[in-house]
Amino acid sequence: MVDLSVDLGGGHRLPNPLMTASGCAANGKELHRFFDVSDLGAFVTKSVMADPRSGRGTPRMAETASGMLNSIGLQGPGIEAFVDEDLPWLQSVGARVMPSIAGSSSTEYAHVAATLRASRAFDAVVGVEVNISCPNVANRGLVFACDPMASAKVIALVREQLPRDIPVFAKLSPDVTDITAIAAACVKAGAEGLTMINTLLGMVIDTDLMRPQLGGVTGGLSGPGIRPVAVRAIWQVRQAMFEGRIPTVPIIGVGGVRTGRDALEMVAAGASAIQVGTVVFNDPSAPVRVLRELCELLEAKGYDRFTDAVAVAHGR
């Protein structure tokens, strides 16, 4: 049997590297009908902000070749409802939770982190993912993740709110000229890990109506079609770590993972854990299926430990 366990920091050893992707798994109850969410290495929840949010009008999705666009607009119950209802439920079924938090200002992020930390089910938390792909109200709506300074500020403030044994993961956007610059800024500001990648900015025109198909005009592109971009981002950042340009921290890979092979691809490029997002819409039990397939592949290749496969494609 391959040892699948992995330590992503803070001394929380996860039984395996498979996770849900934020926003593609809601907060657990729905997928728990298909598989036991505590079988995952960690459950990443939908990005939560301070207050309840309705999200955007509809249509909120458009199907694309080997992927989809979404413009949900971070619909959610707000952090209070999250810590009162969702987090305790996840704890009750034994899930290890990686909450994803968001904000329109760096102080909102900090407030959400502080509320989380003070909550009764915080014990279930093994890390916090900071979704910095949000429009920054203070900067004409430019998303935090496109600006190293704004990203660093959010990460530093969130880091301050959380205990040391809770690693903070900065979730990066691929829509930048140089992702290693953003990665470096986040790690220097205190991120103990990076999640790559969030969706690509995209758009579909409804040619029947000759207008943008999404209510929100543009949306986030996800799914297998973007996997090569995710693998490249992971590779580049990991390479920068090898070259000493960024301190070495764990990378969580996400973007178009459909099979165990896809997961292994990201692992070989440098990911220490894997999230499955859009493919859940195709196959609700994809996260556990991918885990099984990954395990079989590692076994066939003669690996004793999952962690031995991390970043092996570098320097070959």
Partner 1 sequence: MTGQATDRALRGRVTQEVAEVIATRRVGAYQHITLVAPGVAELARPGQFIALAVGGESSGTLLRRSFSIHRVSPSGTYGGTVEIVVSAVGAGTRWIVDRVPHDTIDVVGPLGKAFPLPTEPVACVLVGGGYGSAPLFWLAGELRERGCHVEMVLGAASEDRLFGVVEARRSCDGVTVTTDDGSAGHRGWVSDVLPDIIDRTNAGVVYGCGPMGMLESITRVAEAHGAVAQVAVEESMACGIGVCMTCVMPVVGSDGRTRMVRSCVEGPVFRGDRVRWDAFDGGHARVPDDCVGAPKVGGH
Region 274-303 residues binding ligand FMN, contact defined as CB under 6 A:
276-279
- Select the binding partner of residue 22 from ligand FMN, a second copy, partner 1, none (C-beta < 5 to 8 A, by kind): ligand FMN
Closest by Cα among 234, 281, 241 to 262: 234
Using CB under 6 A as the binding rule, whether residue 72 contacts ligand FMN is answered as: yes
Torsion angles phi and psi, residue 310, rounded to 5:
-65, 125
What SS3 state is found at 304? coil
Q: How far is the CB of 5 from a second copy (least distance, A)?
A: 21
Residue closer to ligand FMN by CB (options 115, 275) is 275
Nearer to partner 1, 60 or 111 (CB): 60
47 forms part of the interface with ligand FMN (CB under 6 A): yes
| Cross-strand bridge partners of residue 14 | 6
Task: Name the one residue in this structure whose structure tokens are 């900067």.
Answer: 139
User: What is the rounded distance in angstroms from the CA atom of residue 298 to the CA atom of residue 140?
Assistant: 47
Residues 174-193 binding a second copy (CB under 8 A) are 175-178
> CB 266 → ligand FMN: shortest distance, Å?
10
Q: 66 or 248: whose CB is closer to partner 1?
A: 66
Least Cβ distance, residue 59 to ligand FMN (angstroms): 12
Beta carbon of residue 19, minimum distance to partner 1 (angstroms, whole number)? 14
Does 224 interact with a second copy (rule: CB under 8 A)? Answer: yes
Instruction: State the sign of the Cα–Cα–Cα–Cα dihedral 33, 39, 41, 42.
Output: positive
Burial class (CB in 10 A: 0-12, 13-18, 19+), 307: middle
Return d(Cα 186, Cα 146) in angstroms, integer.
12
> Is-catalytic flag, 134?
yes
Bridge partner list, 195: 171, 252
Q: How far is the CB of 286 from ligand FMN (least distance, A)?
A: 9
Q: Which residue has the tokens 């981002």?
A: 233
From the number of C-beta atoms within 10 Å of its C-beta (0-12, 13-18, 19+), residue 39 rates as: middle
Catalytic residue ranges:
134
- Give contact residues for a second copy (rule: CB under 8 A): 62, 64-67, 69, 146, 175-178, 200-205, 207, 209-212, 217-219, 221, 223-229, 231-232, 235, 256, 258, 261, 264-265, 268-269, 297, 301, 309, 312-313, 316
